[in-house]
Amino acid sequence: MSEGAAASFDPLRPRLARIAYRMLGSVADAEDVVQDAFLRWLGTDRAAVREPEAFLRRVVTRLCLDQLKSARARRETYVGPWLPEPVVEPEDGEPDDVTLPLMLALERLSPLERAAFLLHDVFGLGFDEIAETIGRDPAATRQLASRARTHVRAERPRFDMPKEKGTAIAQAFFAASRSGDMGALRGLLAADVSLYSDGGGKVKAGLKPIHGVEDMIKLHSSLARFFAQEMSRVVRFGLINGLPGFLTIEPGGLLQTTALAIEDGKVRGIYVMRNPDKLGHLGVVH
């Protein structure tokens, strides 16, 4: 019985996990939701289910909506900026259009707006199915998606940048920020650049975002003194939540990801994950 359930469920698992991760911003929570959905699938009269994928999408989405209620409460007491757990894409993978800035924009939506937007605009589902999933009529569901779209429009990718160019900028940013070459670093940054670092209260990280090129230069000038004593070690460059970036082992042996939002060839957003609780799934030995 369980083998039959697994045979029909396992091919759908990656897609269900993508839905759950984009809803929750947590790899671990997404895996838990998908496993919970499998357990429910085990107890379902599967012969009576005409469309297993649609059925399981509904199960996963509803589980995520329940989870978001408690997640929001936890994030109100989170220490410092909250960032989603980083997903490092395979070296031969394509850029994800649900980028890290877009995921942060989704955090500002209500759970129902988030579900309607993701299921329709990202996964291409029809409003009739989404309405059944979230328990609203199709007209209300369409309004939810439209309202969400208006809120997140500014964070959708506005142009495609070749992966090689993004990697080159990430490499240049790493070199300038670690070597103390503030002239080179300034040339890479947009005037309104912002930095968000997530330590979750577990490790040292900024408690508030940093905005503006001058404050960014001051910060990295200060950090350069530490890097002069012990340099960061690059694990790899690659795409992190759809953005160019890099994984590093920082002084003291701390694993870190850095993702860069780039517009018109300039770094406009810097997203640094240092919270060890959010990095364990990467499986990097250091």
Residue 137's domain is classified under what CATH number?
Answer: 1.10.10.10
62 shares its domain with 111: no
Phi, then psi, of 208 in degrees rounded to 5: -135, 150
Tokens of 208: 């508030």
Q: Which of 77, 111, 141 is the last residue of a domain?
A: 77
- The reported pLDDT for the residue numbered 1 is 60
Tokens of 73: 């409460």
Phi, then psi, of 39 in degrees rounded to 5: -65, -40
Q: Is 38 helix (H, G, I), strand (E, B) or coil?
A: helix
Measured between alpha carbons, how far is 226 from 244 in angstroms, rounded to an integer?
24
- Indicate the burial class of 120 (C-beta count within 10 angstroms; 0-12, 13-18, 19 or more): buried
pTM for this one? 0.90
255 shares its domain with 167: yes
132 shares its domain with 227: no
CB distance 78 to 198 below 8 Å? no
- Indicate the burial class of 92 (C-beta count within 10 angstroms; 0-12, 13-18, 19 or more): exposed
In a domain, 95, yes or no: no
Measured between alpha carbons, how far is 211 from 216 in angstroms, rounded to an integer?
7
- The reported pLDDT for the residue numbered 279 is 95
134 shares its domain with 28: no
Q: Which of 18, 42, 77 is the last residue of a domain?
A: 77
181 shares its domain with 133: no
Domain that holds residue 35: 1-77
CB distance 35 to 73 below 8 Å? no
Q: How far apart are the first and last CA of the chain?
A: 42
115 shares its domain with 201: no
Look at the chain and report how many structural domains it folds into.
3
- The reported pLDDT for the residue numbered 17 is 96
- The reported pLDDT for the residue numbered 93 is 66
167 shares its domain with 268: yes
Q: Which residue has the tokens 């990097």?
A: 284
In a domain, 83, yes or no: no
DSSP state of 160: -
Closest C-alpha among 161, 165, 154 to residue 101: 154
In a domain, 184, yes or no: yes
Tokens of 217: 């230069």
57 shares its domain with 105: no
Per-residue pLDDT of the chain (286 residues; tens, 9 = 90+): 678 889 999 999 999 999 999 999 999 999 999 999 999 999 999 989 999 999 999 999 999 999 998 777 677 788 999 999 999 988 766 667 788 999 999 998 999 999 999 999 999 999 999 999 999 999 999 999 999 999 888 776 655 678 899 999 999 999 999 999 999 999 999 999 999 999 999 999 999 999 999 999 999 999 988 898 899 999 999 999 999 999 999 988 999 999 999 999 999 999 999 999 999 999 775 5
- Report the 10 Å Cβ neighbour count for 67: 20
- The reported pLDDT for the residue numbered 72 is 74
Alpha helical stretches, state H, 180-271 = 182-188, 213-229
130 shares its domain with 26: no
CATH code for the domain in which residue 272 is found? 3.10.450.50
**Helix 52-76 and helix 127-134: axis angle, to 10°?**
60
- Report the 10 Å Cβ neighbour count for 82: 18
